[in-house]
Amino acid sequence: MKSITILSIIIIFASLLFPWWITVVASFIYMAISPSNTLWKSIRISFLSGLLSYLIFTIYTSIGVERNPANLIGDLFGELPSWSAYITTALIGGLATAFGGISGHLGSKIMK
């Protein structure tokens, strides 16, 4: 839980300054320098951190916007609820971040 929180905070703050793909880089670096994790633990930590941080960041950026992107995407796909766009974005972010975590974990194993 501690690793998920730390990585989520890193991703959220990095997302304020850099493009979306910084989440993959942050997960890569974090998993490469973190103490010995198993591959599945690295995947789980990276995925959950990416999912959580993308969900929080997406909701944060849509606060105060009259026609937020989630509503527009919902209307585009036939009256889907806005939460479905948030969940889809979070899942895609979680998958991208998980691939960064896998790469970081395996890269640290190669370097050892």
- State the chain's mean pLDDT as an integer: 87
Can you spell out the DSSP letters for 54-100? HHHHHHHHHTT-TT-HHHHHHHHTSS--HHHHHHHHHHHHHHHHHHH
Confidence of residue 37 (pLDDT cuts 50, 70, 90): confident
Distance CA 82, CA 97 (A): 23
Each residue of 53-105: pLDDT tens digit?
989 888 888 887 777 777 777 777 777 787 888 888 889 999 999 999 999 99
